[in-house]
Amino acid sequence: MSATSISYFQADVPLADCTTFHVPAQTRFFAEFDSIERLTELLQLADQQKIVRRMILGGGSNVLFTRNFDGLILRNRIGGIEVVGQDQDSIFVKVGAGENWHSFVEYCIKQNWAGVENLSLIPGSVGAAPIQNIGAYGVEVCQIIHSLQALDRRDHTLRTFAADECEFGYRDSIFKRGSRERYVIINVTFRLHRQPCFNISYAPLRQELERMNPDKLSLQVVAQAVINIRSSKLPDPRQIGNAGSFFKNPILPTNQWAELKLSHPNIPSYPASAGQTKVAAGWLIEQAGWKGWRHGDAGCYPKQALVLVNYGQARGQEILDLATQIIASVRAKFGITLEPEVNII
């Protein structure tokens, strides 16, 4: 490798502080980019140096490293929040993919722009949000995405995707499937509302709001209720390593769900698309006896069984071993195969 490229890429960089799981691993090469020009330059350099494996990292809140990465990790630091249009009902805001998600939510609430308040306190970056269509408390980010821009790694051109071209689904988009290796998300344009249209259909959110008993509902109040619930159930990744829900809630054909409901009448479930029902993976894992389980520093969180945690020194492989055991035991008990939501490297 030449002297110039060494100054572009850092070598043998530890990754423990780059992910919210905080598991030890290192990457052969590492660099950050804060513009499309810089990203293009880094990709060209990686081509010249024949570094084949590349990975884009945002906030590192949805990834588990189980081994060292023999390639180049590029961290997206593209910032900026810019109003790019408005009409009677909406504000269109273009946000750099490297912005922190929760800081963006706080910014919107300060401006009185509605639509993101239910998605408060989700760890990660703005650019990662569309990839897995983050969602919480009755809202998915696809409901407020207008469009996004992504760099095509094949020819380094910038492409705009309208929301309906992203093929959003439950914790899913084209950027999580076939196009995962192809595009780097550069910015996302959100359509936010001037007038709030509160979504408090999610029962625990309604209950928390009743407990708070505010004089009137506002974006701040809803965001605070969401923050209260998340803080009471989910571990703070700055204190206990984790990546939120480790598995997706499985979606079953309704006849399979109906059969399950006969033997397990309390199974929490939600309607999905026609002929399908989503069931709570946290409940399945708890019923299989894993809630609060700990071996060494790898564990299943005692307040939310869907969250696997690193209490300090766990390695990624130990977390993965635990996930594998959980999958096998839930399959044996319920005939359901859980799928990880987290990207396992």
Residues of the shown chain interacting with ligand EPU in the complex, contacts defined by CB under 6 A? 136-137, 204, 233, 244-245, 248-249, 268, 280, 282-283, 286, 291, 304-306, 341
- Whichever of 208 and 341 has its CB closer to ligand EPU, that residue is 341
DSSP per position, 75-133: EE----EEEEEE-SSEEEEEEETTSBHHHHHHHHHHHT-BS-GGGTT--SBTTTTTTTT
Residues 6+ apart with CB under 8 A from 278: 170, 249, 250, 251, 252, 269, 270, 271, 272
CB of 71 vs ligand EPU, minimal distance in Å: 26
CB of 208 vs ligand EPU, minimal distance in Å: 12
CB of 136 vs ligand EPU, minimal distance in Å: 4
For residue 118, give Cα distances in angstroms to 83, 167, 201, 230: 21, 22, 11, 11
Contact 101, 125 (CB under 8 A): yes
Q: At 280, list the tokens.
A: 């709570």
- Whichever of 30 and 65 has its CB closer to ligand EPU, that residue is 65
Residues 6+ apart with CB under 8 A from 319: 21, 23, 64, 66, 298, 308, 310
Known catalytic membership, residue 341: yes
CB of 315 vs ligand EPU, minimal distance in Å: 21
Contact 127, 97 (CB under 8 A): yes
- Whichever of 33 and 104 has its CB closer to ligand EPU, that residue is 104
CA angle 254/248/330 to nearest 5° reads 75
172, amino acid identity: D
Known catalytic membership, residue 171: yes
In 3-state terms, what secondary structure has residue 248? Answer: coil
CB of 337 vs ligand EPU, minimal distance in Å: 15
Nearest by Cα to 302 from 322, 286, 318, 317: 286
Residues 6+ apart with CB under 8 A from 302: 291, 292
Compute the distance between CA of residue 24 and CA of residue 15 in angstroms, rounded to an integer: 6
Please tell me which residue in 147, 245, 315, 318 is annotated as part of the active site. Answer: 245
The total number of residues shown for the chain amounts to: 345
- Whichever of 109 and 305 has its CB closer to ligand EPU, that residue is 305
Please tell me which residue in 153, 171, 230, 315 is annotated as part of the active site. Answer: 171
Backbone angles phi, psi at 321, to 5 degrees: -60, -40
CB of 80 vs ligand EPU, minimal distance in Å: 26
- Whichever of 137 and 293 has its CB closer to ligand EPU, that residue is 137
- Whichever of 56 and 136 has its CB closer to ligand EPU, that residue is 136
CB of 286 vs ligand EPU, minimal distance in Å: 4
Compute the distance between CA of residue 190 and CA of residue 84 in angstroms, rounded to an integer: 10
Nearest by Cα to 245 from 143, 341, 344: 341
- Whichever of 2 and 270 has its CB closer to ligand EPU, that residue is 270
Active site (catalytic) residues: 171, 245, 341
